[in-house]
Structure 1
Amino acid sequence: MLALMTAYVCPRCGIRSPADALTWCCPQCRGPWDLEFTSAPVSLTSLASRVNSLWRYEEALPLATGAPRVTLGEGRTPLVPLTDGVSAKLDFLMPTLSFKDRGAVMLAELARRLSPPRVLADSSGNAGTAIAAYCARAGLDCVVYVPEGTSAKKLEQMRAHGAHVTVVPGDREATARAARDAADEPGTFYASHVYNPHFLHGTKTYVYELWEDLGGRLPDTLVVPAGNGTLLLGAALAVEELYGHGLIDSRPALIAVQAEAVAPLAEAFAAGADDLLAPSDARPTLAEGIAIPNPPRAAQILRAVRATGGTFLTVTEDQLHAAQVDLARRGLFVEPTAAACWAATRASTPRPGLTVLPLCGAGAKTGLGGGRG
């Protein structure tokens, strides 16, 4: 039996909304939705004969019923060793050169089924290029709001896919506010990688692929970047599903990484807080893809890390640059944000067992030591 979506639910207020509605947030607290959804166990032995995209894990995915589905052959990225006990999953080899394709394909498929008059997204770069590409694949027009200073290469990619790009004066937070205001306009499908939980159910395939690649087990430690936390929360979802279905014996520790310059989650975690301590401002950092001063799902991120016995690590600008250069010398050219997890791993005490980290975005999008994630 294929898993089916049911409804959105606010984790704070308990308010529900049909999953086929265009209501993009909780009408009471304006917070992001969760998806009321129950997965079925995936059969490891059946995967060899399945489609070579993230839709191969159909039992675990909402929107898996019905065909054809939007796809660019995303997923199934290589897992390669970096050092003894540490491997990297090369998610920068996705169709649009970032892990954001995992969630974008879910949002594009949902939008295709709903056929809204308007699709809107906001991004500092990678999510926007992914949404633009998958909307193009689905035959949907979309508008992407971006902050000024967004990488010219990423803007070119969005426009090449046919997206209408709106440059918002100010930083990433100003862009998000402008997009949320526009999302309230009637007939708008807000393809938000933060507010729409379908995105998280796409990013959870990162862990399902690790489970498949490792023959039905998971690494002992998962190191993940944490800005808005979309990969981390997707990973947490997958871990709980696999454990709940008896497909793994134990949960790996989640280690979340932030840039020292913008580390509101790490600060809240160190203080033992359940949510952000106070609104903060973003300072300049090479890891601009995770430079999120006020992530809307902060409480969920903190809870997910604590539930696995994990922790937060922060990295300096010098460590980020050195890690990006080191990876390039190993044949892996990634953008600075994508080097954050390797920077943290190099600077920390090795954990027992296997550690896996993602390399999330290609260096070809930004160049060495700069650009937006």
Structure 2
Amino acid sequence: MTPMSDPSNPSNPSNSSNPSHPSTPSDRPLTTTTALPDRFCPADGTRVPGSSPAWCCPVCRGPLDLDFSPNPAPLSSLAGRVNSLWRYTEVLPLASPSVSLGEGRTPLVALKDGLSAKLDYLMPTLSFKDRGAVLLAELATRLRPARVIADSSGNAGTSVAAYCARAALPCTVYVPEGTSPKKLEQIGAHGARLEIVPGDREAAATAARTAADEPGTFYASHIYNPYFLHGTKTYVHELWEDLGGRLPDVLVVPVGNGTLLLGAALAVAELHGAGLIDRRPALYAVQAAAVAPLAEAFHAGADDLVGTVPAAPTFAEGIAITRPPRARQILRAVRASGGTFLTVTEDQIRHAQLDLASRGLYVESTGVACWAAVRDGLLGARTAVVPLCGAGVKTGLARG
């Protein structure tokens, strides 16, 4: 079951009689020459026109989903196509890209005992976030805003900055103080303006959301904008192709804001709905034990976050999100898949990073969380794939 367009969910737009929120001057469409699918709020069904610059539900201010019904192509038709994520054009809400840097199609390598890793740190900006950022930049070129903004703890901002540079779009990235200097350097090198916000990741997000309401602004949010999820889902479409039309028993995914996990859930639903896989893999979500609000809610049997989890230092800074806006969708997706949540300690992260480096794979500390969770045989005889999401040169070795 995909959390993005579940026909049994009364908030799904096809089941909802909730009218669109009346437009305001800031809701007026930006310029576009191509019809774009509408977006909708998964919480209350409010619809937003595809060409609107609105970045959230105008009623509840929650994230939006895309009213889009893809039809994935069979394996036999993929041979000879462009060697990037755009080869899966039937499942992407945008076609004929102008902004591509050749993203996608990253290697899949065996590690041990049925466990494999997909090397998404070999993307153009050394992070899996390129999968979603290219969709956001491509959308921005069609909406033609005066400026693009993003907020990030590093990797998403770097990706948006790079693709905006490719598209010649002015870009500002809001980051929290304490962001890795190497990531700041990379964002600035792409020509983006940096806004360093005092405080934590949520403080940077709040500043960006305030700026996002200004006229002529396109908020390239990897959390609120559903196009990002439709980019990250290509991770699973690639796995399916690389494994000859099947998927492993388990997909192990790091979760902070849940963009890769929700993209994976979308892809699994698409492939299963088209009859291209006969079973759905379980989704195993991994969080750092230091900041694990979703794991806490999941194991408490809750449908949403419970209480308040304070920010805390962790090597896995990229997934240290205390209040993910799509929490309900993430929890629902993991439960529907028959999966679970796992947490890893700082020692496990540090040892997993060194272990991967000893195997020739130098991965940033956030990106090793999944390997830390399963490398000691937790999954038994089941096959699984872990994503290695960011390059080690972005943060260096975890020390402590």
TM-score for both structures, normalised by structure 2: 0.90
Aligned equivalents of 2:303, 2:399: Cα separation in 1: 33
Code of the aligned partner of 1:292: I
How far does residue 347 in structure 1 lie from its aligned partner after superposition? Answer: 4.4
Code of the aligned partner of 2:322: P
Aligned equivalent of 1:34: 65
Is the 1:279–1:293 Cα contact (8 Å) retained in structure 2? yes
Q: Give the share of equivalent positions with the same residue, in percent.
A: 73
Code of the aligned partner of 1:33: L
> Which of 275, 285, 304 is equivalent to 2:314?
285
- Could you list the per-position Cα deviations for residues 342-371 of structure 1 after superposition, in whole angstroms to 9, with x for gaps in the alignment? 000024522433100000000011100169
> Which of 244, 249, 267 is equivalent to 2:296?
267
Aligned equivalents of 1:237, 1:181: Cα separation in 2: 29
Poorly superposed stretches of 4+, deviation over 3 Å: none
Q: CA RMSD in A?
A: 1.2
Aligned equivalents of 1:183, 1:48: Cα separation in 2: 41
Aligned equivalent of 2:394: 365
Aligned equivalents of 1:38, 1:274: Cα separation in 2: 26
Aligned equivalent of 1:147: 176
Say whether residues 1:49 and 2:59 are aligned partners: no
Code of the aligned partner of 1:35: L
Aligned equivalents of 2:266, 2:122: Cα separation in 1: 23
> Which of 333, 350, 359 is equivalent to 1:321?
350
> Which of 3, 7, 11 is equivalent to 2:42?
11
- Could you list the per-position Cα deviations for residues 169-193 of structure 1 after superposition, in whole angstroms to 9, with x for gaps in the alignment? 0010110111111111111100000
- Could you list the per-position Cα deviations for residues 299-355 of structure 1 after superposition, in whole angstroms to 9, with x for gaps in the alignment? 000000000100000000000000001000110000100010000002452243310
- Could you list the per-position Cα deviations for residues 271-316 of structure 1 after superposition, in whole angstroms to 9, with x for gaps in the alignment? 0000000232111100000000000000000000000100000000
Code of the aligned partner of 1:188: T
Is the 2:292–2:309 Cα contact (8 Å) retained in structure 1? no
Code of the aligned partner of 2:132: G
- Could you list the per-position Cα deviations for residues 197-234 of structure 1 after superposition, in whole angstroms to 9, with x for gaps in the alignment? 00000000000000000011111100000100000000
Say whether residues 1:205 and 2:237 are aligned partners: no
Aligned equivalent of 2:335: 306
Code of the aligned partner of 2:114: G
Aligned equivalents of 1:350, 1:309: Cα separation in 2: 14
Q: 1:60 to 1:5 in 2, by over 3 A?
A: farther
Code of the aligned partner of 1:55: W
Aligned equivalents of 2:329, 2:397: Cα separation in 1: 33
Aligned equivalent of 1:158: 187
Aligned equivalents of 1:347, 1:309: Cα separation in 2: 21
Aligned equivalents of 2:118, 2:153: Cα separation in 1: 23
- Could you list the per-position Cα deviations for residues 76-132 of structure 1 after superposition, in whole angstroms to 9, with x for gaps in the alignment? 000001101100000000000000000000000000111100100000000000000
Gaps of 5+ in 2: 1-34
Report SS of the residue matched to 2:261.
Answer: helix
Report SS of the residue matched to 2:67.
Answer: strand
Say whether residues 1:238 and 2:278 are aligned partners: no
Is the 2:36–2:51 Cα contact (8 Å) retained in structure 1? no
Aligned equivalents of 1:69, 1:212: Cα separation in 2: 24
Is the 1:220–1:352 Cα contact (8 Å) retained in structure 2? no
Of 233-242 and 68-77, the range deviating more from structure 2: 68-77
Aligned equivalent of 1:169: 198
Code of the aligned partner of 1:36: D
Code of the aligned partner of 1:114: L
Report SS of the residue matched to 1:275.
Answer: coil
- Could you list the per-position Cα deviations for residues 138-172 of structure 1 after superposition, in whole angstroms to 9, with x for gaps in the alignment? 11110000001111111111111110010000010
Aligned equivalents of 2:376, 2:200: Cα separation in 1: 30
Code of the aligned partner of 1:250: R
Aligned equivalent of 1:82: 111
Aligned equivalent of 2:54: 23
Gaps of 5+ in 1: none
Report SS of the residue matched to 1:49.
Answer: coil
Of 342-351 and 331-340, the range deviating more from structure 2: 342-351
Report SS of the residue matched to 2:371.
Answer: helix
> Which of 237, 250, 254 is equivalent to 1:221?
250
Aligned equivalents of 1:159, 1:337: Cα separation in 2: 22
Aligned equivalents of 2:87, 2:106: Cα separation in 1: 14
Is the 2:349–2:368 Cα contact (8 Å) retained in structure 1? yes
Is the 2:230–2:263 Cα contact (8 Å) retained in structure 1? yes
Aligned equivalent of 2:100: 71
Aligned equivalent of 2:20: none
Aligned equivalents of 1:88, 1:260: Cα separation in 2: 22
Aligned equivalents of 1:341, 1:173: Cα separation in 2: 24
How many residues align? The count is: 366
Is the 1:5–1:36 Cα contact (8 Å) retained in structure 2? no
Say whether residues 1:179 and 2:208 are aligned partners: yes
Aligned equivalents of 2:309, 2:36: Cα separation in 1: 35
Is the 1:257–1:313 Cα contact (8 Å) retained in structure 2? yes
